[in-house]
A and B are shown apart, each in its own frame.
Chain A
Amino acid sequence: MSAVATAETEYSRTRESSWGESGLALATDQSTDLETALLACARGDRNGLRLIFDLEGGRLVAVAQRILRRRELAEEVVQEAFIRIWTHAHQFAPGRGSARGWIYAVVRNRALNMLRDGRREDLVSDERLETLQDAEQMDEIMSAWHRLDRDSRLKECLGALEEMRRRGILMAYVGGYTHGEIAGRLKLPLGTAKSWIRRGLLSLRECMA
């Protein structure tokens, strides 16, 4: 009888589950796939890399483009990042962080390097103040926070921060802005911007602990 309950309960849960829940289950499956795919890369199996591309390629291009503002630069970054994923997959160990986090970090690092190397000069120059594109990017940066799951800890904890601190943190992570650029956009002295962000990060860690 208990066995009956097991199967029936399982199905009714599935039947009643909201789209969000089945999405969550999928996300879990997907992270397992990514781990498997990375390990396949480490063994020299190119299908692993293809799987990563199929599962995450669209989002990775979007993440790079959000930082670099230009599609062709974003695609170049993603190309470089996939080569690096391929050659460095053996450095991933499932015990420390997720495969997804590892993969995104590779793309983020490449994008930030390109940005810092000045390839985006025309887009981040300090003379360019509140241009239309700047405002658009600001919207995009804030929407990354708005788009987080309603019940996500990160969303809640970012929401608990004082607005300028939240803004500074999001500008850095989502938009790839430096301390100097953030200070300029928020019209704060550099030292103030730095310490606000640092304190914001501390509050965030405590909130999410």
Chain B
Amino acid sequence: MTVAPKDFATYADEYVLGLLDEADATRLDAQLEHDTALADAVAQARERFLPLDTGIEPARVTPSLWNAIETRLADAQAPSSIPSASPPRPAAGNDNARSGWRAAAISAMAASLMLAGGLIWSVTRTADPLVVAVLLNEAGEVQAVVEDFGNDTASVKLLTDFAVPADKTMQVWTLPSREMGPMSLGLLQDAHSATLSGSALPRPQDTQLYEITLEQAGGSPTGRPTGPILAKGFAKLAR
């Protein structure tokens, strides 16, 4: 016996709220594995209620919790061998895979994976930046990563090719404070990644804005960004 499509929304809500009795929940779990319309309904229900969880005041978490997870991970198998660490009642409803999506998703995420590598590399190195900002273009694609070391040095890694006309140059900016306004970190010669130094600015903060604009060769004549924004993003404290 399966749940009929007309009842999907009702069951999805009650499933997400944890209100189904065990028999119904098990039934739904089984059906979710192959019924994409039902899985969609569950995903929608989940998103509807999610803000009730994400708005919560975070608990203070000690390093011992992560250590405990790492210890358990050591016992668990690699991701490819799934069943080893399965809890008693598997939440198959959480399987939101849809095969047709996979190829598209993988290619769309390739840039993000580069970013993951960049982030991980940047936060595990010995000379640590104070903040890391991931810069995205208007379409939300990752374009560059800025690491600000706070000692008047910032490293800019470009993660895509930029077409810069001969009479133009890429200029990197940050907004240390509203009062100060946008400040130049420097120019990227030949649209290459670079380490920029020499601009004495306040210690970078969490959520500080960084961006790259296209300026005339030699940099913005006004000392403020004047050209179109190629990428921008907010910094996060490296920890």
Query: Which residues of B60-95 have CB atoms within 8 Å of chain A's CB atoms?
Result: 60-61, 65-66, 68-69, 72-73, 76-80, 82, 84-89, 91, 93-95
B120 within 8 A of partner (CB): yes
Q: Which residues of A contact B207 (CB under 8 A)?
A: 22, 26
> At the interface, yes or no: A128 with Cβ under 8 Å from chain B?
no
With a CB–CB cut-off of 8 A, which chain A residues contact B228? 3, 6-7
Residue from A84, A91, A96 with most neighbouring chain B CB atoms (10 Å): A96
Asked if A90 is at the interface (CB within 8 A of a chain B CB), the reply is yes
- Give 24 A-B contacts (CB < 8 Å), ordered by A residue: A6-B229, A7-B226, A22-B234, A29-B134, A32-B136, A37-B116, A49-B69, A51-B119, A75-B65, A86-B76, A86-B79, A88-B82, A90-B82, A93-B101, A96-B96, A102-B96, A104-B46, A105-B46, A105-B94, A106-B91, A113-B87, A147-B55, A148-B52, A173-B17
Measured between beta carbons, the chain B residues less than 8 angstroms from A37 are 116
List B6-57 residues whose CB lies under 8 Å from chain A: 9-10, 13-14, 16-19, 22, 39-40, 43-44, 46-57
Residues of A within 8 A of B49 (CB): 154, 173
Interface members, chain A 64-113 (any B CB < 8 Å)? 65-66, 71, 74-75, 78-80, 82-84, 86-98, 100-102, 104-106, 108-110, 112-113
- A58 lies within 8 A of chain B by Cβ: yes
Residue pair A204, B87 in contact (C-beta under 8 Å)? no
CB distance from A79 to the nearest CB of B (A): 5
Closest to A194 in B: B19
**A95 neighbours in B (Cβ, 8 Å):** 96, 98, 101, 104-105
**Would A93 and B87 be within 8 Å (CB), given that A39-B112, A50-B66 are in contact?**
no
Given A57-B61, A61-B59, A176-B18: A87 and B51 interface contact (C-beta under 8 Å): no
> Which B residue sits closest to A1, measured CB to CB?
B226
Query: What is the CB-to-nearest-CB distance from B93 to chain A, in angstroms, rounded to a whole number?
Result: 8
Distance between Cα atoms of A110 and B86 in the complex (Å): 11
Question: Does B225 interact with chain A (Cβ within 8 Å)?
Answer: yes
List the interface of chain B (C-beta within 8 A of A). 9-10, 13-14, 16-19, 22, 39-40, 43-44, 46-61, 65-66, 68-69, 72-73, 76-80, 82, 84-89, 91, 93-98, 101-102, 104-105, 108-109, 112-113, 115-116, 119-120, 124, 134, 136, 140, 175, 178, 181-182, 207, 209, 211, 213-214, 224-229, 232-234, 236, 239
A203 to chain B, nearest CB (A): 11
Partner of A113, one of B13, B84, B89, B229: B89
- Interface hub of A80, A82, A97 (most chain B Cβ within 10 A): A97
In the complex, whether A4 has a CB less than 8 A from a CB of chain B is: yes
* Chain A window 13-41, contacts with chain B (Cβ cutoff 8 Å), 1 for yes, 0 for no: 01100000010011001001101110111
CB pair B182–A11 under 8 Å, yes or no, is yes
